[in-house]
Amino acid sequence: MFLTRLEVQGFKTFAQKTVLEFPPETSAKHHLTVVVGPNGSGKSNLADAIRWCLGEQSLKLLRGKKAEDVIFSGSEGKSRSGFAEVSLTFNNADHAMAVDFSEVMITRRLYRDGETSYMVNGKEARLTDIQLMLAEAGIGQRSYSVIGQGMVDHVLTATPEERKVFFDDAMGVRGFQMKRHQSMLKLQKSAENLSEVEMLLGELEPRVNSLKRQVDRLNKRAEVAAQLHVAQEEYYGMAWGGLSSEKSTIEKRHNEAREKIIKKQEELKAGDAKVAEIENIEYRVTSNDSVLQSLQVAYKLAQQELNDARKAHFAAERELEMAKVRAQSTWAPLPLHDIITEVAGIADAHQTLAARLRAVKELHEISVIADEVDGVFGRSKKLKDRLTKPNPEDFTPSQEHTVAFAAATTRVKAAESAVGEAEVAMDVFAKEATVQKTEVFAFQRQLRVLQQELFALEQAANSVQIELTRVETRMEAVEREMQDDIGVERMKKTMEASNVRREISDVATLHDKMLRLKHQLELIGGIDEEVMREYETTSERFVFLTTQVKDLRSAIASTEKIIDELDGEIRSQSAAAFTAINKEFQRYFAVLFGGGSCSLVKMSQDDVAEETKVNMDRAMEEMAEEKIENDSIASITERVKERADAVIGIDIQATPPGKKLKALNLLSGGERALTSIALISAIMATNPSPFVVLDEVDAALDEANTVRFSNILQELQKLTQFIVITHNRATMEKADMLYGVTMSGDGMSKLLSVKLDEIGDSGARR
């Protein structure tokens, strides 16, 4: 894997889109790309762009104070940019990055409003996922992949603990360390959750036991409740079955009556047609005919009025019957509590009146007490009436129903009288009529007989209709009672079962049994729904928390196992890598200094006890997905200590030739630069990064050391790709690709590129 392309737009001084192409590697070595330019031209901004794209969050390392400082701020000839964007394209043919792409482009974009985004091949991605992917490929913004300006000796000036993090990158265990730290945070959080859950369980368990005892006491009513269930099924089943059977019988009678009415109506209609036919054929219209017609019209109007009056009378009678049924069906016995309360009130009133009666001294006081006795008697009678189911015969209709029924009856009598008068008038006229009309009057008399028979049939049908309405109303009342008493589902099952069996039983006895069982349940004591609900909720929560405890313990054990496995991987890999880096460090130190000695020393907790401590967890938080600030419980803290690395820091000892000092703070600036270069070279020789950016790391070197440095770069080109920002001629001479950065008067950095292998000895392009 190697870097093939860098695209910068709107980042610091690179306002316009700038593209750096990096030559592909050959079979023998990677190409060396050198970036040159005068001071202040913006060369180091390219290194910052690469570091920023890799996910760097420290504005100090990016030489800024706030996030928008990385966006081009504008100049005299160019307005400021609205965003900054940097893209790095990698050749991933060897799949060093764990993605199914042979070419991977990582993009970071920042707008002035603070909105930022990361993308992998044009798709949104999380920074944590990108950092983990890069770490597994050996790339990181804080590691030796990008050595910024002035950072060459950072590894020397860092504390042993911070240096340990750097060496974790160098030894290729950074991905393991990130996973380990995240696992430790999860372990710590799981332990805290376990402690909280166990505390909650300790509080819930007594409450669950108390609620369970209350529920157990109420469960003794289960037998009575079961009997009530059976009684309800029997009562409602028999009641509904009986009413259904009665309804079917009445409907059959009603249908038969309607058939008779329809047949009689057809006969009457045929008779009317016959009369009309006779009148049209045999007689001509005369003045007497006009009188006859008026009599017939009056008779028909009287008949119509009688028909309407009887319909109104039927409607009033039906409403009256339905009121009787409703009065009986809507009756419900008083709750036991109300009965006891009312009886106790009446008893107290009787006791008070008896005491007052015994204390009477004046005769007129007896009259007052008698009135109060009447009031208590009224209360007793009212209570008896409310406890006694009303009979339909005892029903007293309301004034509205009484008035409507009386009015309908009066209207029927008036209509019947009008019909009789019309019939008499037609009979008188018939006697005076000519002989030729005798046949018509005789036929009309037959029609009147048919009309009377029709009226009788309709009256009978209306009576059947009233019975049917009464049964339907009772069925509706039973249905409402079932719905309120046993619920919709049980009601449906009961109705279906009743339609099957339709047995005959004493419904009143079953009803009394059902009421008696209800009263028994009230005497036992009703279930407090809140207690039951609280018990169910609390018990459910208790079971849930118990399961959570089990899951948390399992998760803790699993996490500890993962941490142990990661520790094993880290120890085995870091031990071999540390030895190799130490060996290469000594070799490159001798090459750069022309002798001398150096070594890397692992430091334990005791070795750094007197130094400024940087907590290992705090150092690793910068690489973790999230930070958990809650204090760890004592047990987890102890286990964390047991799993803590024996090595918590790395010390560097360096002795240039001819000197006896070992402390790094006694080295000169040039010596520190050479020591840092030797260490970085050793790391790259042992665990090479896919690419390395060096920003003026050779600035403090003299000409001879610059040549040695360039030779080391040429040697390491076999292992990794270098992008070097420099001013030194010796480094430029080793370059395969040379980029020049310049800045014009508009304050924008611009780029020039030269492929040195295309330039001949004379300096002209081939």
User: Where do the structural domains in the chain lie, given as residue ranges?
Assistant: 1-145+689-766
Beta bridge partners of 751: 741
- Judged against a pLDDT cut of 50, whether residue 633 lies above it is answered with no
Write out the two tokens for 528: 């407090």
What pLDDT does 760 receive? 52
What mean pLDDT comes out for the span 597-617?
61
Contact 345, 379 (CB under 8 A): yes
- The mean pLDDT of the chain is 77
pTM: 0.49
- Tokens representing 419? 């019909």
Q: CA–CA separation, 602 vs 582, rounded Å?
A: 11
**What pLDDT does 472 receive?**
79
- Comparing CA positions, the residue from 686, 732, 739 lying closest to residue 710 is 732
With contact defined as beta carbons under 8 Å apart, do 650 and 601 qualify?
yes
What mean pLDDT is predicted for residues 64-83?
Answer: 87
Summarised one tens digit per residue, pLDDT across range 169-207 is: 777 676 677 777 788 888 778 887 888 888 888 888 888
Within 10 angstroms of residue 210's Cβ, the number of other Cβ atoms is: 13
Predicted local distance difference test score (pLDDT) of residue 614: 38
Of residues 98, 86, 95, 4, the one with CA closest to residue 46: 86
- Average pLDDT, integer, range 284-291: 53
Q: For strand 737-743 and strand 18-21, is the pairing parallel, antiparallel, or unpaired?
A: unpaired
> How confident is the model over 354-359, as a mean pLDDT?
82
pLDDT per residue over 482-533, tens digit each? 777 777 777 777 777 765 544 445 777 877 787 788 777 777 665 666 777 7
Contact 709, 701 (CB under 8 A): yes
**Span 357-369, mean pLDDT?**
80
Helix (H) or strand (E) holding 472: helix 438-486
pLDDT digits (tens, 9 = 90+) for 432-469: 555 445 656 666 677 777 777 777 777 787 778 777 88
More confident residue, 112 or 257: 112
The backbone torsions φ and ψ at residue 109, rounded to the nearest 5 degrees and listed phi first, read -135, 140
Choice between 94 and 176, residue whose per-residue pLDDT is larger: 94
Q: In the structure, what pLDDT confidence band is assigned to residue 4 with cuts at 50, 70 and 90?
A: very high
**pLDDT (mean) for 417-426:** 77
Tens of pLDDT, residues 115-166: 999 999 999 999 888 888 887 787 765 566 788 766 667 777 777 777 777 7
> Whose CA is closest to 675, among 642, 705, 639, 643?
705
The DSSP letter of residue 146 is E
Angstrom distance (rounded) from CA 299 to CA 275: 15
Give the residues across from 111 on adjacent strands: 83
| pLDDT confidence of residue 111 | 94
> Over 90: is that where the pLDDT of 86 sits?
yes
Query: Is 1-145+689-766 a CATH 3.30.365.10 domain?
Result: no
Q: Which residue has the higher pLDDT, 242 or 585?
A: 585
Strands 83-91 and 737-743: unpaired
